[in-house]
A and B are shown apart, each in its own frame.
Chain A
Amino acid sequence: MIQIDKYMPAEVKLKCYHCGEDCDSDDIRIEDKVFCCNGCKTVYEILDQNNLCTYYTIDETPGITKKKEIKRNYDFLDDPQLKEELIDFTDGNTTKVTFSIPQMHCSSCIWILENLFKLNPGIKFSRADFLKKIVTIQYSEKEISLKEVVELLDAIGYEPDLNLEGKQKEKSNSHNKKLAYKIGIAGFAFGNIMLFSFPEYLHIESFSQDSMREVFGYLNILFSLPVFFYSASEYFISAYKGLKKKIVNIDVPVSIGIIVLFVRSLIEILTQTGAGYLDSMTALVFLLLVGRIFQNKTYDALNFERNYKSYFPIAVTIRKNGKETTKPVGKLKVRDRIIIKNNELIPADSVLINGRGFIDYGFVTGESNPVEKVNGDLIYAGGKQVGGAIEVETIKEVSQSYLTQLWNNEAFSKKYHSDINSLVNVVSKYFTFVILSIATVAGIYWWPQTNIAFNAFTAVLIIACPCALALSTPFTLGNSLRIYGKNKFYVKNTDVVEAMSEITDIVFDKTGTLTETGSSSVKFVGEPLTAEEKILIKTLVRNSAHPLSNGINELFDVPVASNVDDFKEIPGKGIEATVNGKKVKIGSGMFVNHLANENKIELSTKVYLSIDNKTRGYFAVKNNYRENLNEIIGTLKRDYKLHLLSGDNDSEKPELEKFFGEDTVMKFRQTPQEKLDYIKSLQSGNKKVLMIGDGLNDAGALKQSDVGIAVSENANNFSPACDGILESRSFGKLNEFIKFSKTSKRIIIASFVISFIYNVVGMYFAVQGTLSPVIAAVLMPLSSISVVVFTTLTTNLFAKKKKLL
């Protein structure tokens, strides 16, 4: 947020017909339509020629600005191996490919992306998915190539985000489909079996002797078979897997309950001694699966597992024998010469050979002010060039680079959060043993009468089936997840909410987390500048690509003078020129007025200004700490031990101490590996660590910590592998979020109590061997439903209380 000190021009700004951005002039136009740049005009022309101007009538100014357009080279898409990895399917003639289009933002976007066939007949079909921001395209290989498809998308402003990582999502998709099948079948069976059980519930006398009863019984068995063998199968598998590892998870008592229900019902119906409990069994499976939907809730558009591959370019331009060609990043070798253009990422550790580098390590450190590099300087992978093209020579392969090496750390291979210790599994361990003993005792008590003994034994297992227990966690945590999402805090899954409630230590990263990214405020200190002086300054700084110059440039909203002579830029010192006959110098104290830098510990960078050799003052460029940082840290400090890890030097330590107080551990100049190790050392002291970071250099530490949260300006932007993405404007609610996870846990415990009460009531009938199907059919769904209602209502209530809803 640059504080703009401007006097507004009175004229009304012209808006681009295509993208809605302000136009500098009305030079670029077609008839009455004004465009901000030629790129936008070209897109309009393409669409106009193809009769696709509906694009502009669905939403106003739907386009994506082409102002910062750089010509991309997609030659690498002709590489057969790379193509193979990108496409979904091909039969030689028709190829199906799915692209991620992050620019998709309105209904016009959907419209144009689904009308691609009008732009090129080679495209047979295209379908957009707005929430996932993907478009699936089918094209004919004979008429158009993959490269041409991508070029077409790029030409109309929808440049696909090409990376080799998108395929994992397919898996979770098919998993969700399977769950939908299972629920459908279970629900169908449940409804019909209940219908056929009604005469039984109502004790219709004539019915019990009737052959109808037999028919209904067999139909019920028929319906329950797919439920038992298909819909419920995952509970058996999970229970078996758990037992094999000697863990009694919640699925063990659930499986026992389902199996006993099924077997006893079969025996009763086949021997015609009773009606069985198939209605209860199918209802139970149905409800359990519905709970799973809540547990599986994910954010389609967000990706929590991103690694370096997903944001590195898929291919780079290399110079070989004086010619420029493209090469897939994976094939990059040491000593390859790469051309890095404006806004492109450096894929491997390299040395700068040619050109002036301004490297923005925003992805890596969260600090987006570019660092200047000169020939021979080492540039780490992950940096982004801002400014003109540079040529670099790789010194390491992509996978061996400094940052990407982090991914080789074991923290990345370990499976996330084993759920052995989750509350419900701890409870279920004792629960299972208690239930089995009660059932055995009841069985032994009735022993000589085998019939009653069998009834009592099975009835206990049936009635105790912890359906409500199994449902309370997914519903509570699933609802918490939803409440977090409403507050722009996106959590990967429900396990994270539970893990968050056990946090003891919070580790902060400094840059980008405590400070706002790229938001240095520039202030002029000195006698107020006249309008004319502002023109001089703006004219001068516009000629420089230095980030500080950019900051000052944005400070003034004035026209520029055309008369610039003797422009000089001395790297590391400053810039000077003669503008309108006046000599203007901007730069370090030494450069501008021969002052030594008096104060070493400075919170802000000072950029001095002189006009005609008269010092006018300086621009103070200061990092902004997040709003309310003081309050947030103050409240968090009371409950948790705080730590601060920073990749920067310790120049801001005194300032940070004001926020954190003396007892916070602060570590500066930390490498990514050191951050990871620090988290590990905390954990080995039995601490549960929540880490908040944002850059790629925190990725290791985020992964290692019990809960890793990435702070991001926009959740759809890049964030490293993490458990949760927190949009930066919700940073102030951090304490509420952690507190709320504890509330959720208490709600789960309360719901356990409710389900136990139901169990005790049911047990009263069960041990006597008098559990009738009606009681089971009422009691079991009732306990489940009341637990679901209770957890949902209470989480919402507490969220309202904490102002999260």
Chain B
Amino acid sequence: MSVILILIGFSLSVAILFLVLYLWAVKSGQYEDKYTPSVRILFDDEIKEKRSDDKSSDKSTKSNKTKTKLN
């Protein structure tokens, strides 16, 4: 039967890990702004050497993606 105790130990440590992760997520403010991150994720990283022509080529797809009808 002691194998159950070991398994419980495992399951508990996993559960506690998730609890700690949740508390950390709350503490770091991840639940405070539920909208802006959804927009932020779609911003492309800056290309170091910019060429204006390839910027305009992906313009249409990008603006469609991130265009937001707000409110």
List residues of A whose CB falls within 8 A of some B CB: 51, 53-54, 57-60, 105-107, 110-111, 114, 128-132, 173, 176-177, 180-181, 184-185, 188, 191-192, 195, 210, 212, 215, 219
- By the criterion CB–CB under 8 Å, are A177 and B68 in contact? no
Q: Using known A-B contacts A132-B33, A177-B26, A180-B26, determine if residue A58 contacts B66 with beta carbons closer than 8 Å.
A: yes
| Residue from A51, A106, A110 in contact with B36 in the complex, judged by beta carbons closer than 8 Å | A110
Residues of A within 8 A of B32 (CB): 129, 173, 176-177
Contact of A131 among B1, B18, B33 (CB under 8 A): B33
Tell me if B43 and A57 are in contact (CB < 8 A): no
Determine if A107 and B15 form an interchain contact, defined as CB atoms under 8 angstroms apart.
no
Complex Cα distance, B63 from A60, in Å, reads: 8
A181 with B26: CB separation less than 8 A = yes
Helix, strand, loop or mixed for chain B's interface?
helix
- Establish whether residues B40 and A57, one from each chain, have CB atoms under 8 Å apart when the complex forms: no
Q: Do A110 and B27 touch (CB < 8 A)? A: no
- If the complex has contacts A111-B43, A114-B40, are A184 and B23 also in contact, measured as CB distance less than 8 A? yes
A105 to B68, CA, bound (A): 10
Q: Cβ of A105: which chain B residues have Cβ within 8 Å of it?
A: 70
Can you report 5 A-B residue pairs in the complex whose CB atoms are below 8 A from each other?
A: A107-B42, A130-B35, A131-B36, A176-B32, A185-B19
Cβ–Cβ < 8 Å partners of A215 in chain B: 5
Q: Is the pair B50, A51 in contact by a Cβ cutoff of 8 Å? A: yes
Give the nearest-CB partner of B16 in chain A.
Answer: A188
- Across the interface, do B70 and A192 meet the contact criterion of CB distance under 8 Å? no
Q: Mark B1-22, 1 if CB is under 8 A from A, else 0.
A: 1001100100110010011001
**How many Å lie between the Cα of A131 and that of B68 in the bound state?**
13
Contacts of A59 in B (CB 8 A): 63, 66-68
Decide yes or no: A131 and B35 within 8 Å by CB, A105-B70, A181-B23, A184-B22 being known contacts: yes
Closest to B38 in A: A130
Flag if A57 contacts B33 (CB, 8 Å): no
Contacts of B27 in A (CB 8 A): 177
Task: Write out the residue numbers on chain B whose beta carbons fall within 8 Å of the beta carbon of A184.
Answer: 19, 22-23, 26
User: Considering the chains assembled together, what is the distance between the CA atoms of A717 and B52 in angstroms?
Assistant: 39
Chain A nearest CB: distance from B33 CB in Å? 5
- Asked if residues A129 and B33 are in contact (CB atoms below 8 Å), the reply is yes
The residue of chain B having its C-beta at the shortest distance from the C-beta of A188 within the complex is B19
Contact partners of A210 in chain B: CB under 8 A? 1
B67 closest partner in A (C-beta): A59
Show the binding face of B for A, using Cβ within 8 Å.
Answer: 1, 4-5, 8, 11-12, 15, 18-19, 22-23, 26-27, 31-36, 39-40, 42-44, 46, 50, 52, 55-56, 59, 62-63, 66-68, 70
Q: Are B36 and A128 in contact (CB under 8 A)?
A: yes
Query: Are B62 and A58 closer than 8 Å at their CB atoms?
Result: yes
A107-B66 in contact (CB<8A): yes
Contact in complex: A129, B36 (CB < 8 Å): yes
Distance to closest chain B CB from A71 (angstroms): 30
Closest partner residue, chain B, to A177 (CB atom): B26
Q: Which residues of B contact A128 (CB under 8 A)?
A: 36
Interface pairs A-B: 6 shortest CB-CB: A130-B36, A180-B26, A188-B19, A129-B33, A107-B39, A107-B66
Cross-chain contact of B67 among A54, A107, A192 (Cβ < 8 A): A107
A414–B4 CA distance with the chains assembled, in angstroms: 60
Residues of A within 8 A of B4 (CB): 212
| Of B34, B55, B56, B68, the contact of A107 (CB 8 Å cutoff) | B68
Known contacts A58-B43, A129-B33, A212-B1: A106-B63 contact under CB 8 Å: no
Take A180-B26, A180-B31, A210-B1 as given contacts and tell me if A130 and B39 are in contact as well, using a CB distance cutoff of 8 Å. yes
| B36 close to A192 (CB less than 8 A) | no
Q: Which residues of B contact A111 (CB under 8 A)?
A: 43
- Kindly report which residue of chain A lies nearest to residue B31, judged by CB atoms: A180
B15 and A106 form a contact (CB under 8 A): no
Known: A51-B50, A114-B40, A188-B15. A130 touches B26 (CB 8 A): no
Chain B residue numbers with a CB within 8 Å of A107 are 39, 42-43, 66-68
B55 to chain A, nearest CB (A): 6
Specify which of A58, A60, A106, A132 lies most central, judged by the most chain B CB atoms within 10 Å of its CB.
Answer: A58
A54–B55 CB distance below 8 A: yes
Chain A residues, Cβ within 8 Å of B44 = 54
Chain A residues, CB < 8 A from B55:
53-54, 57
A331 CB to nearest B CB, Å: 35
Q: Tell me, in angstroms, the Cα distance from A59 to B56 when the chains sit together.
A: 13
For A181, the chain B residues whose CB sits under 8 A away are 23, 26
Complex interface: chain A residues within 8 A of B8 (CB)? 219
With beta carbons under 8 angstroms apart, the residue of A57, A106, A173 that contacts B62 is: A57
Residues of A within 8 A of B1 (CB): 210, 212
Task: Check B36 against A57 for contact (C-beta < 8 Å).
Answer: no
**Separation in Å of the A119 CB from the closest CB of chain B?**
14
Most chain A beta-carbon neighbours within 10 Å: one of B34, B36, B42: B36
Q: Point out the residues of chain B lying under 8 angstroms from A212, CB to CB.
A: 1, 4-5
**Which residues on the A side are within 8 Å of B46 (C-beta)?**
54
CA distance A173 to B39 in the complex (A): 22
Q: Is the CB of B40 within 8 A of A58?
A: no
- Min CB gap B13→A, angstroms: 12
Most buried by B among A54, A59, A114, A173: A54
